[in-house]
Amino acid sequence: MIRYGKLVHMEVRRFRYFLLGMMGLTLVVQVAALIWKTTGEVHRLRAGGAPVPFFGFDKLTFTWAVFNTQAMFALPILVSAAGLALYVFLIWYRDWLGRGTFAYRLLMLPTARRNLYLAKLTAILLFVFSLLAFQLLALPIEQGIFNLIVPAEMRMDSYFTDIIQANQAFSLLLPLSGAQFLYQYGLGVICILVAFTAVLLERSFRFWGIGYAVIYATACIAAFVVPLLTLGFDRDDAYLYPKEIFGILTAVIMVVAAASIGLGFRLLSRKITV
Amino acid sequence: MKRTRYALTVVLCLFALGTLGYYYAFASDERLPPFQLVTVEGDAKEGAALELSGTYGGRMYSKPLIVTTEGSVYRLQETLAEAVLDSRSWLLELPGLKEIRKEHPNFMRGKSSTSGWYEDEEKLIYADAVVSGGQSRTARLDADLLDLKSGKTSRFSVPLPDQKYDFAYTEDVQLVGDQLHVLVAQRKLEAGSANLPTVYVDYVLNLSDGSLIDRKKLAFDWKTTPGASLQISVVTEGMATAPSDSVILQIDEIMQKQVSEHVAAELKLLNEKLVSYSYSTDEMKELPSLFKPGDEPYRVFNTLDGNVLTSLRPDDDADQLEWTRTDLTTGKQLASLSVTGEQLGAQDIGSSFAVDGRIYVLLYPTRLNVPESMQDDGEPTMAAVLDADSGKVLYRGKVVSVDPKRSAEKELKQLQLNNLNRRE
């Protein structure tokens, strides 16, 4: 357990500047977009421009600002998401491609090798959730900046949930339903497990491993997508009932997760080469 | 130094868990106002069956909700699980079909027509007219039978004699003695087809061997105004599986114009008739209709409860509702009544429907046909249940805002309830 914690910490330390960079990029781009949009509108209103009603309200709100800067608010989030998606692979390859024999040293640590796997998975999840948490924290800061720019007589308060729903990226990444958050990120975790196992297949069998990895990832995707498309949950004349289709999909997901973890642990302890 | 070695990871964990935990525990709650349907007069049990649905508009996006005597439930973002689990709820929760799904789930598999069902004490039958294939299309009638006493199932499939039609839909299924009657609507789809009539055929099958023993094309002897066409629809049963000797057809004479190859723009409803067709005698009989010249399409709402036909008609100003009840077996009119919104303690009548000998009415406190600025907002939407045969008020209830910390008037102003349903 202690070794696992130390390995997680090592992964966090290795990624800390990238993580801070993503957070900084998010704040800078969103604040810049907010200032640009809001000051422009305040100047227009002060110059005698007619207020443009926003969902029935004439006054400016922070929700209005977020709604009208869709792309600029979403851009740093998408860049961060793409960066983290790439890092799911790099978190393994940097051990092999880095200085000297770092992967060798990691594999020789006096601890179960599965701790390496779990530490990398934990680190990725921690980065994802930290960025989400940072976005949640950034919104009140940005709302404060909005309040500083817009005079009190021109603005009115926003509901926090309206702000989340005002941007498509927010409502996708931070669903208001806790259950949806668990389903969404639960599926995300399984995608990471499949990617990890694919990387370990490639590291274990090298040239042939590329083929194995592609086959494995394709099989996992097909195992989920084929029943989803063929069992016809949205077809009125489907043979199976929705509850049965849901049961099958849940079982498939569990099998994919168990197979990925089991195969990953086995490859890491028996097959991997440096 | 050693104590702070893991500080970065610990802080990051606490930050992520704390912020997301706070968000899902408090901040993601939209804190939407609760509403409730409370009894003004009558039997509270009648009110417990009501479900008023609409939207609450006090947020950026309107929030769909349902109000009952138990409180209000907002239909917010659908989760991935709900998207799968509720995917066919419109079909699987229908009165009659819901019971079949629970009692005979294997028999119901793969059966999607809502009007292809028949059930009595001995048999459960599903029949469906199917047109399959492209150029070499075949039209056939499939029927599945479940003997409720022995649990045995049987299936037969017969080709339909009319192969020229591109579209076939089962409108009604009834059993008369040993003969299975399947009423099928058939239509050709081709250029200018919007004005081609839909043909209604009663296919009669021998239940013992599944053979087609007769086919009766329903003839509607009605001279139409030049340029007008007849639009026929089957009056729906309150219970999808209910046995009945006859089917009621609503025939609308509509003046319409073709706007594209397959689409017609409806222009004006010229006349409307109700006709009953008896499966046992083949007799077609015209029934009294509440249609009045100048009515818009679908103004009169007809529904069938066993052998009793109920017709509802709100007047032009939506402040009065009239209805008739006719026993189709005897031809006797059981009731011809009306009620105004004011008699029920409101101004205008919203939606209304008849089920199980009751009339369900949604009531608005303000006039619908006056400018918004003149409306007296903040008054509650109401619902009433009346006895269909006597017109007696069985229940009257109003929607209230139940959070004492909020301004009831302000919250009710944001509430728009447009639909009334009965919970099963």
pLDDT digits (tens, 9 = 90+) for B332-348: 899 999 999 999 999 88
ipTM > 0.85, yes or no? yes
What is the mean pLDDT of the segment spanning B277-306?
85
For residue B59, the model assigns a pLDDT of 87
A94 and A63 inside one domain = yes
CA distance B52 to B350: 11
Same domain, A221 and A87: no
Lowest-pLDDT range of A95-109, B66-80, B133-147, B400-414 = A95-109
Single-letter amino acid, residue B345: G
Q: Does any CB of chain B come closer than 8 Å to the CB of residue A181?
A: yes
Residue finishing a domain among A175, A197, A229: A175
Structural domain total, chain A: 2
Query: Across the interface, which of B15, B24, B79 has its CB nearest the CB of A183?
Result: B79
Q: Given an 8 Å threshold on Cβ–Cβ distance, is A246 in contact with B91?
A: no
Look at residues B92, B253, B86, B247 and name the one whose alpha carbon lies nearest to residue B176.
B247
Average pLDDT over residues B130-154: 88
Cβ(B84)–Cβ(A249) below 8 Å: yes
Q: What is the pLDDT of residue A99?
A: 64
User: Nearest CA to CA, how far is B6 from chain A (Å)?
Assistant: 6
* Residue A222 touches chain B, beta carbons under 8 Å: no
**Å from A212 to nearest chain B CA?**
31
Residues A147 and A183 in one domain: no
CB contact under 8 A, B59 and A13: no
Kindly tell me if the per-residue pLDDT of B271 is higher than 80.
yes
DSSP state of A82: H
- Could you list the residue range(s) of the whole structural domain that residue A7 is in? 1-175
Give yes or no for a contact between B36 and B44, defined as CB atoms under 8 angstroms apart: no
Closest approach of A242 to chain B, Cα-based (Å): 5
Q: Tell me the DSSP string of B391-424.
A: --EEEEEEEEE--TTS-HHHHHHTEEEEEEEE--
- CB spacing of A164 vs B28 below 8 angstroms: yes
Same domain assignment for residues A256 and A158: no
Provide the chain A residues 4-43 that lie in CB contact (below 8 A) with chain B: 5-6, 8-9, 12-13, 16
Percent of chain B scored above 70 by pLDDT?
92
Let me know whether A170 and A215 are in one domain: no
Residues A32 and A55 in one domain: yes
The reply to whether A181 and A256 lie within a common domain is: yes
Residue A212 and residue A129 share a domain: no
Nearest to B278 by CA among B331, B325, B229: B331
Contacts of B101 in chain A (CB under 8 A): 241
B372 — pLDDT class (breaks 50, 70, 90): low
Query: Looking at residues B152-170, what average pLDDT do you find?
Result: 88
Nearest chain B alpha carbon to A122: B13
Q: Which of B6, B30, B84 sits opposite A249 (nearest CB)?
A: B84
Is the pLDDT confidence value at B241 over 60?
A: yes
Question: Mutate which of B20, B22, B75 to test chain A, going by most A C-beta atoms within 10 A?
Answer: B20
- In this prediction, residues B342-364 reach a mean pLDDT of 92
Identify the contact set of chain B against chain A, taking CB-CB distances under 8 A. 5-6, 8-9, 12-13, 15-20, 23-24, 27-31, 57, 59-61, 76-77, 79-81, 84-88, 91-92, 101, 105, 109-112
List strand residue ranges (DSSP E) for B290-392, in order.
301-305, 308-314, 320-327, 333-340, 348-355, 358-364, 382-387
Q: Which residue has the tokens 């419109």?
A: B90
Rounded to whole angstroms, the Cα distance separating A248 from A230 reads: 12
Residue A136 and residue B27: Cβ atoms within 8 Å?
yes
Angstrom CA distances, A172 to A78, A228, B61, B246, B349, stand at 12, 21, 16, 52, 40
The confidence score (pLDDT) of residue A79 equals: 97
What is the reported pLDDT for B374?
Answer: 46
8 Å CB contact of A161 and B86: no
Mean pLDDT of B290-304: 83
Residue labelled with tokens 């399984």: A190
CB–CB of A242 and B87 under 8 A? yes
A-B C-beta contacts closer than 8 Å: 118
Alpha-carbon distance of B128 to B135, in angstroms, equals 21
Contact B80 A63 (CB under 8 A): no
A185 and A235 share one domain: yes
| Confidence check: pLDDT of B280 > 70 | yes
pLDDT at B88 over 90: no
**Residues in chain A within 8 Å Cβ distance of B17:** 129
Domain regions of chain B by residue span: 31-87+306-423
Per-residue pLDDT of chain A (274 residues), as tens digits, is: 668 899 999 999 999 999 999 999 999 999 999 999 999 999 999 998 888 888 878 899 999 999 999 999 999 999 999 999 999 999 999 888 866 678 888 888 878 889 999 999 999 999 999 999 999 999 999 999 999 999 999 999 999 999 999 999 999 999 999 999 999 999 999 999 999 999 999 999 989 999 999 999 999 999 999 999 999 888 888 999 999 999 999 999 999 999 999 999 999 988 887 6
Minimal Cα distance from B9: which residue of A? A9
Per the structure block, which two tokens stand in for A195? 């990617």
> What is the CB neighbour count within 10 angstroms for residue A247?
13
Are residues B52 and B381 in contact, defined by beta-carbon separation less than 8 angstroms? yes
Give B-chain residues touching A187 at CB under 8 angstroms: 80
**Are residue A41 and residue A31 in the same domain, yes or no?**
yes
Same domain, A100 and A185: no
pLDDT for res A245: 95
B340-362: string of b/e by CB count within 10 Å (b at 16+)? ebeebebbbbbbbbbbebbbbbb
Rounded mean pLDDT of B96-108? 93
* B191 burial type by CB count under 10 A (0-12 exposed, 13-18 middle, 19+ buried): exposed
For chain B, give me the number of helices (H) and strands (E)? 7, 25
* Domain shared by A163 and A48, yes or no: yes
Nearest-Cα distance to chain B for A129, in Å, is 6
Cβ separation B110–A239 shorter than 8 A: yes
The whole-angstrom distance between A178's CA and the closest CA on chain B is 6
Confidence of residue B299 (pLDDT cuts 50, 70, 90): confident
- Residue B371 reports pLDDT greater than 80: no
Q: Which helix (H) or strand (E) holds A128?
A: helix A114-149
A178·B13 Cβ contact <8 A = no
